[in-house]
Amino acid sequence: MSKITEAVTELAKGVVEEEGCSLWDVEYVKEAGSYYLRVYIDKPGGVSINDCEAISRAMDKLLDEADPIPDSYVFEVSSAGAERELKRPSDFEAFLGSEVEVRTYRPIDGRKAFVGTLDRYEEGAVTLSCGKKQIRFEKPDVALVKLHVSF
């Protein structure tokens, strides 16, 4: 984590929890020439626009006071989403048995995207059940793991 995301995470935790939500992630990225600070939240039963608005208003004041970001940026509060990215070991533990999509840096058996049930997570390696077949992806090969919603 960068110093900015660490500082914002510390600021956001209390505010997010006061609103009955949990903090999923904080990201600070540059996109199309602008910086974006995004706070992703979660809540049993789902996040509402009112949750995002309340947290955004409270965070605005804290961010102005603490001033952890020297540049101008766009601030957003959002739901972690149904197809959220799994990053931390605790994320993987929470979603064992769930359907996920694994994207790889290089093709494996001619493809770079795999959907299956998350069976195991060990020190960055991800094991999926894809039908009757189990596939293990080593940490250096994994570009992204996110929940997958089938319609």
Query: Which class does domain 89-147 fall in?
Result: mainly beta
* pLDDT level of residue 1 (50, 70, 90 thresholds): low
pLDDT digits (tens, 9 = 90+) for 93-140: 999 999 999 999 999 989 999 999 999 999 999 999 998 999 999 999
Per-position b or e across 107-130, b if 16+ CB within 10 A of its CB? eeeeeeebebbbeebeeeebbbee
Average pLDDT estimate for 24-45: 95
Average pLDDT estimate for 10-35: 95
Give me the chain's average pLDDT, please: 94
Q: What is the pLDDT of residue 122?
A: 94
pLDDT for residue 70 is more than 90? no
Question: What does the domain layout of the chain look like in residue ranges?
Answer: 3-79, 89-147
Q: Which fold has domain 3-79?
A: GMP Synthetase; Chain A, domain 3 (3.30.300)
Neighbours of 87 (CB within 10 A): 13
Q: What is the pLDDT of residue 2?
A: 81
pLDDT digits (tens, 9 = 90+) for 79-89: 999 999 999 99
